[in-house]
Structure 1
Amino acid sequence: MNADPRDDRLLAGSLVLRPWLPGDLGVLLDAYRDPAIRAGSRAPVADEAAAAAWLRTQEEGRASGLRYGFAVVDPGLGDGPVGNVALSFPAPGSPSAEVGYWTAAPARGRGLAPRALEALSDWAFSRFAGDGLARLELLHQVGNEASCRVAEKAGYAFTELLPPCPPWPDEGHRHTREG
């Protein structure tokens, strides 16, 4: 993983992780039409207004230093985003943060999610170690076996079974990676 000199883009092999842009609205809407993405999302995007709000949230999170969302671009699949990875802090200087991701259907099965998640994780520990970041957590519903595989491939160990917690009606898994 290499950080771009502007520090807003990450490179992971052929993948480019970059901030989400207003021009990505259509791609975002298409991605959230996928039932698998909607099922794993805490904030589903149902229409253009919701997509615009989601994009603003990404920008505001980056400005506040509490959320870093990256559009995942695989040049082999085109110029637009085919996935998302995000790092969220509960508060400034927190010793732990949560990571999340999704991959659009056409990009699944290519190893994109673990590579992007590993790049984000390496960047997070490098960038925020001085602020005390020591642990990253990945949460998902029990039935999402693909997320378990992605977590393991990206260096996240299964830590515990979680009780149901809205908006997820089923038990969940917590995976962690130490810095």
Structure 2
Amino acid sequence: MSVTLRAAPTVTAPGLLLRCWRDDDVDALVEAHRDPELRARTRNPLTTPAQARRWVDGNRQGWAAGRRFSFAVCEPTSDGDRVVGCVLLKDVVPGRADAEVGYWTAGPARGRQVAPRAVDAVSRWAFTRFAATGLARLELLHQLDNPASCRVAEKSGFPFVEVLPARPPFPLDGHRHVRHHR
């Protein structure tokens, strides 16, 4: 894995490029959110280009504020790259030891180890970038009815820690997985 920090950070993992979301990702976002599985697991599915544009703009604001970092997970193609998922690092606060990692994978990319590679890469980037400000622990949370996320967590270096009771907006109990900075 290599980590490159520039004005527009990118992270790489085998066969993947993780970068900031761009305006030209709007159509790919809407297409990914047509997937019934993704829609069922996402609180706010993006169903229109206007919603997707607002989401991209919100992610830029998160980067600018330095507390929320959303990466488009892309597979390189002969004419650029194709969005196959998203990994998000949220609740990054200087002096606070923990933050949360979330992710989704587009339907056609599931089952190809995209999510574990991307989550691992962003986790390494997070510890490299924010350890000096106190980041020592990342959490990955998911509902009990999502065993695929359990597998992604384990493969990404997030062992299971505990069952969490349901609380809004999540209707079911969940799992907490935690990865510590080494």
Match of 1:2 in 2: 2
Using the TM superposition, give the Cα deviation of residue 69 of structure 1 relative to its aligned residue in structure 2, in angstroms: 0.5
CA spacing shift, 1:82–1:34, aligned 2, 3 Å: same
Q: What amino acid maps onto 2:12 in structure 1? A: L
TM-score by length of 1: 0.94
Q: 1:4 offset after TM fit, Å?
A: 2.2
Q: Which residue of 1 aligns with 2:134?
A: 132
- Cα distance between partner residues in 2 of 1:157 and 1:76: 33
The 10-residue stretch of structure 1 (14-23 or 31-40) with the greater mean CA deviation from structure 2? 31-40
Structure 1: stretches of 5+ with no match in the other structure: none
Helix, strand or coil: the match of 1:75?
strand
What is the Cα-based RMSD across aligned positions, in Å?
Answer: 1.6
Say whether 1:142 aligns with 2:169.
no
SS in 1 for 2:44: coil
Write the deviation string for residues 13-34 of structure 1: whole angstroms up to 9, x where unpaired.
2210000001100100111111
Distance 1:18 1:117, change over 3 A: same
The DSSP-based 3-state class of the residue aligned with 2:9 is coil
Q: Is the 8 A contact 1:19 1:69 kept in 2?
A: yes
1:167 maps to 169
Any conservation in 2 of the 1:40–1:141 contact (CA below 8 Å)? no
| Shift, 1:159, TM fit | 1.0
Quick one: distance in 1 between partners of 2:140 and 2:5? 28
Which amino acid is the alignment partner of residue 171 of structure 1? D
Q: Which runs of 5+ in 2 are unaligned?
A: none
| Moved segments of 4+, more than 6 Å | none
Distance 1:18 1:90, change over 3 A: closer
Write the distance in 1 (CA, Å) between the matches of 2:67 and 2:123. 15
1:41-98 deviations in Å (ceiling 9; x for gaps) = 2332232222111111110000000011100111269722111001001534321000
Match of 2:26 in 1: 25
* 1:37 alignment counterpart: 38
Q: State the secondary structure of the residue aligned to 2:81.
A: coil
Percent identity of paired positions between Structure 1 and Structure 2? 52
CA distance in 1, matches of 2:125, 2:5: 13
Count of matched residue positions in the alignment of Structure 1 and Structure 2: 179
Q: TM-score, normalised by structure 2?
A: 0.92
CA contact (8 A) 1:101 1:117 kept: yes
Kept in 2, the 8 Å contact 1:62–1:68? The answer is: yes
Q: Amino acid of the residue matched to residue 148 of structure 2? A: A
Give the letter for the 2:96 counterpart: S
Contact 1:40 1:140 in 2 (8 A): no
Cα distance in 1, alignment partners of residues 63 and 3 from structure 2: 16
